[in-house]
Amino acid sequence: MAEQKIYKKAISVKKTVIWTMLAIGAIAMLTPIIFMFSASFKYSDEIFNLNIIPSEPTLSNYIYLFEETTFFKWLINSFIISTVVTFSVLFFDALIGYTLCKFKFKGRKIVFIAILSTLMIPTEMLVIPWYVLSNNLGLIDSYFGLMFPGLMSGFGVFLMKQFFEGVPDDFLDAARIDGLNEFQIFIEVALPLVMPALSALAIFTFLGNWTAFLWPMIVTTSADLYTIPVGLASFSGEFQTEWEMIMTGAAVASLPTLLVFLLLQRFIIRGVILGGLKG
Amino acid sequence: MAQVSLKNIKKSYDKTEIIGDLSVEIEDKEFVVLVGPSGCGKSTLLRMIAGLEDITAGKITIGERVVNNMQPKDRNIAMVFQNYALYPHMTVYKNISFGLRAAKLSKADIKKKVNEAAEILELTDLLDRKPAQLSGGQRQRVSMGRAIVRDPQVFLFDEPLSNLDAKLRATMRAEIKKLHQTVKTTIIYVTHDQVEAMTLADRIVILKDGEIQQIGTPMDLYNKPVNKFVASFIGSPEMNFITNADGITLGIRPEDIYLADNAPTLEKTRTIAATLILQEPMGAETLLTADYDGTTITVKAPGTVNLAVGQAIRLLLNVGNGHLFDKEGIRV
* A270 close contact with B: CB closer than 8 A: no
Q: What number is the average pLDDT over the span B317-327?
A: 94
Task: Give the CATH number, domain containing residue A230.
Answer: 1.10.3720.10
In a domain, A278, yes or no: no
Alpha helices in chain A (DSSP H): 2-40, 60-68, 71-102, 108-117, 123-137, 143-147, 154-165, 169-178, 182-184, 191-193, 195-210, 214-219, 228-233, 243-271
Kindly identify which residue of chain A lies nearest to residue B140, measuring between CA atoms.
Answer: A278
Task: Choose, out of A177, A191, A267, A272, the residue to mutate when testing the contact with B (most B CBs < 10 Å).
Answer: A177
Query: Is A264 a residue whose pLDDT tops 80?
Result: no
CB contact under 8 A, B146 and A178: yes
In a domain, A240, yes or no: yes
In a domain, A8, yes or no: yes
What proportion of chain B, given as a percentage, has pLDDT over 90? 78
Nearest CB to B85 within list A174, A184, A273: A174
Task: Choose, out of B76, B80, B86, the residue to mutate when testing the contact with A (most A CBs < 10 Å).
Answer: B86
| Residue range B93-132, pLDDT digits in tens | 999 999 999 889 999 999 999 999 999 888 999 999 999 9
List domains and CATH numbers for chain B: 4-229 (3.40.50.300), 237-325 (2.40.50.140)
For residues A117 and A195, membership in a common domain is answered with: yes
Q: Which residue has the higher pLDDT, A237 or A232?
A: A232
CB contact under 8 A, B99 and A275: no
Query: Domain total for chain A?
Result: 2
* A179 close contact with B: CB closer than 8 A: yes
For residues A41 and A85, membership in a common domain is answered with: no
Could you write out the DSSP letters of every residue in B148-202? Answer: HTT--SEEEEESTTTTS-HHHHHHHHHHHHHHHHHH--EEEEEES-HHHHHHH-S
According to DSSP, the residues that pair with B80 across neighbouring strands are B157
Mean pLDDT check: name the lowest of A76-85, A90-99, A200-209. A200-209
Query: Is B31 a residue whose pLDDT tops 80?
Result: yes
CA distances from B3 to B9, B11, B28, B243 (A): 16, 22, 4, 42
CB contact under 8 A, A273 and B132: yes
What's the pLDDT score for residue A195?
87
* B89 close contact with A: CB closer than 8 A: yes
* B146 close contact with A: CB closer than 8 A: yes
B168 band by pLDDT with thresholds 50, 70 and 90: confident
In a domain, A263, yes or no: yes
For residues A132 and A225, membership in a common domain is answered with: yes
* A275 close contact with B: CB closer than 8 A: yes
In a domain, A187, yes or no: yes
Nearby residues of A77 by Cβ (< 8 Å), 6 or more positions away: A143, A146, A225, A226, A227, A228
Cα end-to-end span (Å), chain A: 41
CB contact under 8 A, B72 and A177: yes
For residues A38 and A84, membership in a common domain is answered with: no
For residues A71 and A202, membership in a common domain is answered with: yes
Q: What number is the average pLDDT over the span B30-52?
A: 94
Q: What number is the average pLDDT over the span A247-264?
A: 86
The ipTM, to two decimals, is 0.83
Nearby residues of B205 by Cβ (< 8 Å), 6 or more positions away: B24, B32, B33, B34, B35, B212, B214, B215
For residues A97 and A209, membership in a common domain is answered with: yes
For residues A217 and A97, membership in a common domain is answered with: yes
For residues A41 and A75, membership in a common domain is answered with: no
In a domain, A279, yes or no: no
Burial track B118-145 (b if 16+ CB lie within 10 A, e otherwise): bebbebeebbeebbeebebbbbbbbbbb
What proportion of chain A, given as a percentage, has pLDDT over 70? 94
For residues A29 and A82, membership in a common domain is answered with: no
Domain housing A41: 2-46
Global confidence as pTM: 0.81
For residues A133 and A261, membership in a common domain is answered with: yes
For residues A133 and A37, membership in a common domain is answered with: no
- Looking at the complex, report in whole angstroms how far the Cα of residue B52 sits from the nearest Cα belonging to chain A: 7
* A173 close contact with B: CB closer than 8 A: yes
Is residue A219 within 8 Å of A145, Cβ to Cβ? yes
Query: Is A273 a residue whose pLDDT tops 50?
Result: no
Q: What are phi and psi of B120, to 5 degrees?
A: -55, -40
What's the pLDDT score for residue B331?
94
Q: What is the dihedral of CA A128, A133, A138, A139, to 10 degrees?
A: -70
Q: What number is the average pLDDT over the span A220-242?
A: 88
Residues of chain A contacting B163 with CB distance shorter than 8 Å: 278
In a domain, A54, yes or no: no
In a domain, A276, yes or no: no
Which DSSP state fits B217?
A: -
Is residue B100 within 8 Å of A180, Cβ to Cβ? no
CB contact under 8 A, B78 and A177: yes
Nearest to B274 by CA among B253, B252, B251, B297: B297
For residues A131 and A189, membership in a common domain is answered with: yes
Nearest CB to B102 within list A171, A179, A195: A179
Mean pLDDT check: name the lowest of A98-107, A116-125, A264-273, B295-304. A264-273
Could you write out the DSSP letters of every residue in B16-66? Answer: EEEEEEEEEEE-TT-EEEEE-STTSSHHHHHHHHHTSS--SEEEEEETTEE
Is residue B235 within 8 Å of B253, Cβ to Cβ? yes
Query: Is B262 a residue whose pLDDT tops 90?
Result: no
Kindly identify which residue of chain B lies nearest to residue A270, measuring between CA atoms.
Answer: B89
What's the pLDDT score for residue A274?
39
CB contact under 8 A, B88 and A277: yes
A269 band by pLDDT with thresholds 50, 70 and 90: low
